[in-house]
Structure 1
């Protein structure tokens, strides 16, 4: 009897949740506001957006619906020529590290060609300097030092550069590291809550694997373990609970944003100095260059 009642209650909860998502898609997210209604929406997103609503919700919360211009993508793509694309080597690398375990993105898969077109159309967004990812890696290292000092000390003792593993997490939004079902759950929250989610998930991954990482007794073992540890993270609920509940008291959005701004300024200044040094070296070589005498 109790199990029947429980199943009826669960079904009622599911029906109410389905009704909620249906209403959200019909009336639009912009009408939710920023009070308790928004918190309810955010909490439901953290539990996972139903597949049938994901496309609509992602487009709306990301602003894609408002920015859509019919025909613009085809126009961009028609302008591009693969043979003259200076970023082709970067694009090619992205093609083969996106969803590496997904059959659609395996060599010859349908996804490869579609992704190539998207990256080619928007190639102007590529930059060799990657200022933001560089700055964010410095922020992440600071956070690991503050939240997981034993792990940070172990990295230092083993001469492990955390960025060698986590840079791609930020650059690809975990595309090449998390199982697809977990990845989509992370993206659900990312589209709603923004870049802070990437820091929270990255820290959650490290938190959940801290003990095993510390067991590694040399740098090679650490790198080997960390390259593989995310591939088996199929329990999205567990990962997101650590990110948003367990680590909640450690992660302060305002402080992270302040760190990001500080490191952005530092990286920008360093890149500017490097550029100036290269220009000075180039001028010096030109001044000291002596053309060969004719025979």
Structure 2
């Protein structure tokens, strides 16, 4: 049957070559010979585009324009990479380019304008820190796969159930024989094994599947590690979802600050926004916006981290604020909010609005809000934690121990060299507060057990400052 290649701009043409579904491509190539037509029509990302298929957000504008690469844009990137990284004369090849790219205003403006699609795999790996993780890891991906290949674990069984639910309308993931499915299985099992405190979290499947469309399996795995360890706060994907829940409270606070009219509306109608937005944050928008828009969002997300999730959400809400305010009732407000991401059609318009509304938002401001809201959240959930529970690893996701690490005391006293000082200090303090609170609760519970007279004492901490 040979190896079939997609036509430029045709079905599957935007995907990494190793994931091209050869059986379907063969049918496209044989069209002239009238052998067998493909069952569905597919776009360049492998998504079905039949009229009756509602799995992909049907934004006409995005579906209509093929993904093209601006030669001008590519030249700007090449010039930047040569100027910044390459002092040799001669051809610039990826192996000569640094493992990480130093942040600069110039690089940020290039990222905002969009990365040329053919350069995304290499640049995403460098912007996110994934390439550095891949190079520095004590354990190879192959070893991680070997160690996590047990079919009998709870995580493995849950992953198996979810494999075909993840991206059913994409030819690479639509059935058990699809080329992407074993890759997704290995990545999700590998993550569940490498991060025992997290195990398997459903939100990760959609992100991993989206990455697999554009990156080779091993690179997609290290990108997932970069997201889990660096780009979002700890406990984002843990069973409690503590990190992503905290961010919903932070978002609600930012709406008060940046979109006061919307804040008033949400209060009047008593709408719990997190029911809608938690999923956006958990999947870094992978499950909610059109894939063309996702690529542009991820260009920025891999460069700047979770700050972008807030800025883009505020940008989207701002674009629909007038429509929301004119809504008749709570149900229509809720529905409009839920539909917002699928109605976003123009990446440049969205990014401009996000920066206009929330461009002034900084990591330091978000971090301060996170500490406060995490403390409130722990207080609220304090009643739910039984005496034996401790709040695990709010500071940093911990990998399975495959190497010698500094002792906890050494790290606490002298810090880890590779953490940005301020961020690390803030997060460490949050963890200490959480641990201290837990220790105090356990001591208090001990005295309640010893003397029933103490049972009436309220153990809820007062965080008002």
Please indicate the TM-score interval, normalised by the length of the shorter structure.
Answer: 0.7 to 0.9
Pairing of 1:172-211 with structure 2 (within 5 A): 172-211=283-322
Deviation at 1:119, TM superposition (A): 1.3
TM-score using structure 2 length:
0.51
Deviation at 1:254, TM superposition (A): 2.4
Which residue of structure 1 aligns with residue 79 of structure 2?
20
Is 1:144 paired with 2:255?
yes
- Aligned mates of 1:243, 1:21 — CA distance in 2: 25
- Cα root mean square deviation, aligned: 3.1
Is 1:39 paired with 2:105?
yes
Deviation at 1:95, TM superposition (A): 6.2
Which residue of structure 2 aligns with residue 118 of structure 1?
187
- Return closer, same or farther for 1:268/1:89 CA change in 2, 3 Å cut-off: farther
Deviation at 1:149, TM superposition (A): 1.7
Is 1:224 paired with 2:335?
yes
- Aligned mates of 2:172, 2:349 — CA distance in 1: 27
- Aligned mates of 2:163, 2:276 — CA distance in 1: 16
Contact 1:95 1:116 in 2 (8 A): no
Which residue of structure 1 aligns with residue 48 of structure 2?
none
Deviation at 1:244, TM superposition (A): 1.9
- Aligned mates of 1:207, 1:237 — CA distance in 2: 15
Tell me which of the two structures has the higher relative contact order, counting C-alpha pairs closer than 8 angstroms and 6 or more residues apart.
1
Which runs of 5 or more structure 1 residues have no equivalent in the other structure?
1-10, 285-295
TM-score using structure 1 length:
0.78
Which residue of structure 2 aligns with residue 96 of structure 1?
165
Pairing of 1:1-295 with structure 2 (within 5 A): 14=73, 16-20=75-79, 23=82, 25=94, 26-28=96-98, 30=100, 33-34=102-103, 38-68=104-134, 69=137, 72-80=140-148, 81-86=150-155, 88-89=157-158, 92=161, 96-97=165-166, 102-108=170-176, 109-123=178-192, 124=196, 125-126=198-199, 127-249=238-360, 251-276=361-386
- Aligned mates of 1:216, 1:113 — CA distance in 2: 45
Q: Give the total of aligned pairs.
A: 266
Which runs of 5 or more structure 2 residues have no equivalent in the other structure?
1-69, 86-93, 200-237, 390-444, 450-465
- Return closer, same or farther for 1:252/1:22 CA change in 2, 3 Å cut-off: closer
- Aligned mates of 2:247, 2:163 — CA distance in 1: 20
Contact 1:49 1:188 in 2 (8 A): yes
- Aligned mates of 1:275, 1:243 — CA distance in 2: 38
Deviation at 1:63, TM superposition (A): 1.7
Deviation at 1:239, TM superposition (A): 0.8
